[in-house]
Structure 1
């Protein structure tokens, strides 16, 4: 039992740890080499306790950090000689990691000769040694076909010095070795920032206060979570979704489900993912970390945003998984190459949209996902300098889910990321890679209509500036686009095609796989839109008018979907709007939740 902790000091130390993680984040962002890290910000930083509980994650991506505790467990279980100056490289999805492309650097932090904390950086690699030049190999039949280099929490530094054997392995198998090594150094450097700052913190406040703070902070966070759950009604919610057919799946797609049980008298919530298909013969399988992170992200989106994202809060939330399950704990050698995206996005959507069934004001709609060519991994040789390149571009965003209070964001990127990834800069991508981006624009009427509108889709068009640029991608949601809730409409489905630069009939490209985009061709990529929340006929007419003036909603949709009449002067016709809404309400009948 810890002593009563000074609440002022509790706040000071909580913010100090948060600041340390943010300093780690800034250090990694500014020093990494690959644009998927230093532009799109596809990485996360965190601090664990010595007993492997998540203490601080600041703006960590949910699918990266919510299931981070097992990373520390692996370090402890696999090494009995951990000491100051060590660092470990971990990307094993069959242990505690997310997928092979997420390289984690773990640094045990010693204070007064005792291991008290562990710094974690997790950075998505543009190339991790896959047999294809991509980090999302959704069609890989097993981990051997996937081909990634997998390091089960191996020591990569001893006494603050690289273990050259491991570094040489990476440099010999990764297509862009200098880019990888720069990202590796940036990750190690970020973790060492945490090491220095936490040691300074312990020197300033005393080791005893820092140790006692941890349990006091977890207890405080747990009380906040308990109080929030106690305000909910007792209910069992069942949600389901279907992932589009991919190679290795049933022709009808992958049907997944979740049961969310809210027990306010106990102050607890559980998410049961066990009743789902067995591991699939492709790269869609989730890992323990990604299934846990996706479920937690869905739950936390329905609870107050002031809840700390740490192990204290998570004590009140149970995620039930099954070994050998596609959305559970994978069995080797099933591939988890796309384990941070496709099915994980569906799990987030299932959980957060289930909450909307409680009542108006709860939950949110479904957010868009998928890897259209605007978010492809591009690769090839840059004829301008003769260098090979592999990198994921994030030129086009997807539509975010509408909530009870706000419209969805068009820069959402995907559910598992919680809108924390950034868009690429068009100018930077054109400078770094041999592509020319003709267009990046939002698509009118693509966000699901609702009292709150879903986020709009993006339309991106680009061409190669060399003989060939290889795109590796996976379009998802074409057959099962994001759904709205409480009468909200679904978001628009994604599209993609290729045509000649001079203009020609569109030519279809595969839904998932590779496409060699050749000189003289351009790819047109339209991402999905997000689902809407609530009846569109309840949307404020002034908000509809703003959308029309901004080009987010067409005048036709304003009239036919939202029932808003805009007169020739550009103002709202109140009488015409009232009559049209009555007519639409009658024709649609009652709107289901």
Structure 2
């Protein structure tokens, strides 16, 4: 970055303006989409890429969606070197840049006076993409053919601002609830066109040369910030391992993987080596190149105590090595990547972030809760209220965030791949859009991974059909291997789920579930919780007291786990300092 030409004030102003454009895209898509997984859970992201296929900004985009979007732009350029104004492209190809087949991505090249300057990107997780079973997480699929989704490798869907009707008719014919998909498709297109208009206005205000200089300066500045953050780290080689639960019968041994991280502060660089991991597995748990890179970047950003812009400039300082044909790397066609955005991705994010805790405070982070379980199930069936089919993914769960060197885990973390950036469903919207009823939703005390800073607690919920049977499909992880604590912190609670019959009898559900829930039956789900950071006996007793008063901990569990004694006073419960000191010593 040349200090002679760098204008910090101008760069900051324009950087905030392009972030504002992404937020306007986000609001447009959120308010105009039809499926609840998009307009209630916010399972989508928006981004702006440069003309040379670098991620410029994604504002609050979900990391697993946007940290690989530049790969999709590269694929677009390779397939369509003659892009023109008014074009729009649909991409969901997991083998060349996309996250997984369920993430339909719209890419709109933005031209000013015939010159390609940006590419606007909207990516939304669809409620259905035509899989062989009604779910977008087909964990059991041995390959992409069994998975069943229609793959669109950067296919043109608009030319001169007019729809290419052949492609749209293909989708409407193949996808289970076509009107819902088409509404979401139009919402994505609309959000991308909003970006196109706003970017043209931005260029008109500042001029092409100033905007080109800004792009160079902003990415170079981001690289410099990242380099300085790495230069402040101690030189080290870190190794860590992760494990995904066994999925019977198609992944009976589970999936073990490892990571090597070389921190090179003298070069301002981090090298991440994934090449020792095994080959693709014959099910839908394989990662894509985009999700592998996103997981590594996400884990690194979680672990280092620095505020770094999340764009391709910062990415330059993290070198990722991976194998082609590896479950934790690049997939080899036709292996299925149906669940590539979560499960193993979540485990890899945790593995990378937790590795940095080996450096001691203030580095690293515990493992966040995993488990796309019953609270993330895809439900489908016939709704007698409308006499129409329905399909949608729930996002009613919370999942506990990890403790860090600075703070307790985020309560509504979701799972590591979204890091709290998705919303929890509205109960009322879910019950309007689907023929289900929620029986209860509640936090569960005494479930946090204990630590100097604790993980966030588990969450429990239950739902049942209102009348007719409904299909319930999900691929839960975390019922066997918990989210690990670090630096002396304790592991989080494991996930679980039960099926309750009409007579009240209960049976525990396995990790992978594909069943028909009958009228009178209820699914009970229990989230995993986040791991703790640091020894529990080092937790500030005043924080422990606050946890008890807020209901996160019972007094008995707090005393047993954190060594804090309490006394009743005229003003209420208080810490017994002398008794606490004796117990802790």
Same fold (TM over 0.5): yes
The residue number in structure 2 matching 1:144 is 145
Q: What SS does structure 2 have at the residue aligned with 1:436?
A: strand
Q: Deviations over 1:148-181 (max 9, x none)?
A: 0110000000000110000000000100101100
Q: Does 1:579 pair with 2:564?
A: no
Q: Could you tell which deviates more after superposition, 14-23 or 243-252?
A: 243-252
| Structure 1, 296-305 or 414-423: larger mean CA deviation | 296-305
Alignment of 1:75-94 (within 5 A): 75-94=76-95
Per-residue CA deviation, residues 516-563 of structure 1 (Å, 9 max, x unaligned), is 111111111001010001110011111111111221112221111111
Taking the aligned partners of 2:91 and 2:348, their CA distance within structure 1 comes to 25
Match of 1:507 in 2: 507
1:168-567 equivalences in 2 (<5 Å): 168-247=169-248, 251-501=252-502, 504-567=504-567
2:76 maps to 1:52: no
In structure 2, the residue corresponding to 1:121 is in which secondary structure?
A: strand
Q: CA offsets, 1:393-426, max 9 Å, x none?
A: 1111101101111110121111011210110011
Q: In the superposition, relative to structure 1, how do residues 248 and 270 fare at CA in structure 2: closer, same or farther (>3 Å)?
A: farther
How far 1:511 moved relative to its partner?
2.1
Report the TM-score, using the length of structure 2 for normalisation. 0.98
Rounded to whole Å, the distance in 2 between the matches of 1:8 and 1:248 is 58
Q: Answer yes or no: is the 8 Å Cα contact 1:249–1:280 preserved in 2.
A: no
Counterpart CA distance in 1 for 2:236 and 2:510 is 42
CA deviations 1:210-246 (Å, max 9, x no partner) are 0111111111111111111100000010010110001
C-alpha separation between the residues in 2 aligned to 1:519 and 1:248? 28
Residue 453 of structure 1, CA deviation: 0.8
C-alpha separation between the residues in 2 aligned to 1:275 and 1:386? 53
Q: Which stretch of the first structure deviates more once superposed, 368-377 or 69-78?
A: 368-377
Q: Which runs of 5+ in 1 are unaligned?
A: 583-593
Name the TM-score, length of structure 1 as normaliser: 0.96
Mapped contact 2:305–2:363 kept (Cα < 8 A): no
Q: Contact conserved, 1:139 with 1:513, CA < 8 A, in 2? A: no
Residue 80 of structure 1 deviates from its aligned partner by 2.6
In the alignment, is the contact (CA less than 8 A) between 2:229 and 2:306 conserved in 1? Answer: no
Structure 2 CA distance for aligned equivalents of residues 568 and 271 of structure 1: 52
The answer to whether the 8 A contact 1:409-1:456 is kept is: no
Match of 2:23 in 1: 22
Provide the alpha-carbon RMSD of the alignment: 1.2
For these two proteins, the number of residue pairs brought into alignment is 581
Alignment of 1:77-156 (within 5 A): 77-156=78-157
Q: How far did 1:11 drift?
A: 1.1
**Following superposition, which runs of at least 4 residues in structure 1 exceed 6 angstroms of deviation?**
none
Distance across 1 between alignment mates of 2:309 and 2:178: 38
The structure-2 alpha-carbon separation of the partners of 1:304 and 1:573, relative to structure 1 and needing over 3 Å to count, comes to closer
Q: What residue number does 2:160 align with?
A: 159
3-state SS of paired residue (1:120): strand
Contact 2:303–2:354 (Cα < 8 Å) also in 1: no
Give the superposition deviation at 1:427: 1.4
Q: Kindly indicate whether the alpha-carbon contact (under 8 Å) linking 1:410 and 1:458 is maintained by their aligned counterparts in 2.
A: no
Measure the CA separation in 2 of the matches of 1:50 and 1:126. Answer: 31
Q: Greater shift after overlay, 370-379 or 322-331? A: 370-379
Aligned to 1:585: none
Which digits, 9 at most, give the CA deviation of each residue in 1:11-45, with x for residues without a partner?
11111111111111111111111111111100000
CA distance in 2, matches of 1:475, 1:342: 8
For the residue of structure 2 that corresponds to 1:203, the secondary structure is helix
CA contact (8 A) 1:247 1:282 kept: no
The Cα shift of 1:250 comes to 5.0
Determine helix, strand or coil for the equivalent of 2:28: helix
| Cα distance between partner residues in 2 of 1:296 and 1:306 | 14
- State the SS of the aligned residue for 1:424: coil
Tell me the distance in 1 between the aligned counterparts of 2:566 and 2:34: 51
Residue pair 1:365, 1:483 contacting (<8 A) in 2 also: yes
Structure 2 unaligned runs (5+)? Answer: none
Contact map agreement 1:367 1:415 (CA 8 A) in 2: yes
Tell me which residue corresponds to 2:66. Answer: 65
1:249 Cα deviation from its structure 2 partner: 5.4
Q: What's the secondary structure of 1:567's corresponding residue?
A: strand
Deviation at 1:581, TM superposition (A): 1.4
Q: Secondary structure at the match of 2:522?
A: strand
Alpha-carbon distance in 1 for matches of 2:9, 2:249: 55
Over residues 66-117 of structure 1, what are the superposed CA-to-partner deviations in whole Å (9 max), with x where a residue is unaligned? 1111110011100132100000000000111000000000000001111111
Question: After the TM superposition, which of the residue ranges 504-513 and 35-44 deviates more from structure 2?
Answer: 504-513
